[in-house]
Structure 1
Amino acid sequence: MISTAYAAGAAAAHGPFYMEAHFWVDVAFLLVVALAWKPVSRAIAAGLDARAAKIKSRLDEAHKLREEAQEMLATYQRKQRDAMKEAEEIIAHAKAEAERLAQQAAKDLDAAIKRREQMAMDRIAQAEAQATREVQNLAVDVAIGAAQKVIGESLSPAQTTALVDKAITGLSGKLH
């Protein structure tokens, strides 16, 4: 801008201020600035408003994404808690099943031991009965042999024949 001292000095030297070219250049400049101010300020305001709207939409989107992320985090935490609870239930069930199977195995083992013990006792009883029969049979054989020897040495052949005939006749009454 032109200083007032210069304008006053120029007016005195050349004539009135409105006749100076500098004055009209300054007026034209101010007029162009005044006329351009409104559209330029609107464009600047519109640009700033658009940028503010863009920033606001980004902030809204970021807020929305944050809420979705928090919801997803809560969902996954809930799923993790449910999975942990389910895993604990599975472990508890497995422990209970293992305990039940161990008890059943112990019962089965006891039953098997008792069966084998009974089978061994039965075999022992059979072996004792067989041994007793063998001893009895051996005793009978020894007694028969001894009786034959005694009878053979003490009886005559006629007495022996009479005893055999008597035994044969008495045999028919014992068999029926």
Structure 2
Amino acid sequence: MANAAQSTPEVFATSEAQVEVADSHGGAAVHVEPELLGLAPFQWVSISMAVLLLIAFFGAKVHRSIGGGLDNKIKTIRDNLDEAKQLRAEAELLRQEYAAKISGAEKDAEAMLANASKEADGIVAKAKEDTAAMITRRERMAQDKIAAAEREAVADLKARAADMSTAAAASLIASNHDAAADRAMADKVINQL
């Protein structure tokens, strides 16, 4: 059995790697990497990834769909940027329009204030003129009423004086004339006619 052990190598399986006991190394354990067709595992992984990528790019034409997706995304971004530029330009125009309206409104407000001030001054001046004219009319009316009252009082006094003088004359005549004097006076007036 000792000969059999020396002629064929013994293989011990471990969890980390396969260990081969070779005769040529004097019975020392040698670490052997697994290989397939002369390629190590990392080389097989690299080859399989390269094949997979080649199939994906050339076989499934993934590169076209990825390129198309990127182109669509770029187009969408450009469209969004163009729309944003347009919206900004519109917003700027609106801002300028409202700024012009505000300045116009301020000018209109100033003009309205100046116009209102002129109208108020005109109304005050007219009110002063109307007040002065009304005072003049009222004074004239009061003077006319006073003059009318004076004329009425004078007329009333004249009428009273005439009534009193008539009554006094009648009383004097009645006391100084009798019936014979009345006949003589009537005869005199008749003769003159």
Q: Which residue of 1 aligns with 2:83?
A: 61
Q: Which residue of 1 aligns with 2:171?
A: 149
Q: Which runs of 5 or more structure 2 residues have no equivalent in the other structure?
A: 1-31
Q: Deviations over 1:124-170 (max 9, x none)?
A: 11111111111112112212222222232233433344445656888
Q: Which residue of 2 aligns with 1:158?
A: 180
| Normalised TM-score (structure 2) | 0.63
Per mean C-alpha deviation after superposition, the further-off stretch among 29-38 and 89-98 is: 29-38
Greater helix share, structure number? 1
Q: Count how many residue pairs are aligned between Structure 1 and Structure 2.
A: 159
Matched, 1:33 2:53: yes
| Normalised TM-score (structure 1) | 0.67
Relative to structure 1, is the Cα distance of residues 115 and 59 closer, same or farther in structure 2, using a 3 angstrom cutoff?
same
Please report the RMSD computed on the Cα atoms of aligned residues, expressed in angstroms: 3.5
Q: Which residue of 2 aligns with 1:88?
A: 110
Q: Which has the larger radius of gyration?
A: 2
Matches within 5 A, 1:46-57: 46-57=68-79
CA distance in 1, matches of 2:56, 2:79: 31
**Letter of the 2:69 counterpart:** G
Matched, 1:140 2:162: yes
Relative to structure 1, is the Cα distance of residues 44 and 161 closer, same or farther in structure 2, using a 3 angstrom cutoff?
same
Q: Taking every aligned residue pair, what percent have the same amino acid on both sides? A: 33
Per mean C-alpha deviation after superposition, the further-off stretch among 26-35 and 136-145 is: 26-35
**Letter of the 1:118 counterpart:** R
Matched, 1:109 2:131: yes
Q: Which runs of 5 or more structure 1 residues have no equivalent in the other structure?
A: none
CA distance in 2, matches of 1:71, 1:54: 25
Matches within 5 A, 1:119-134: 119-134=141-156
CA distance in 2, matches of 1:48, 1:164: 152
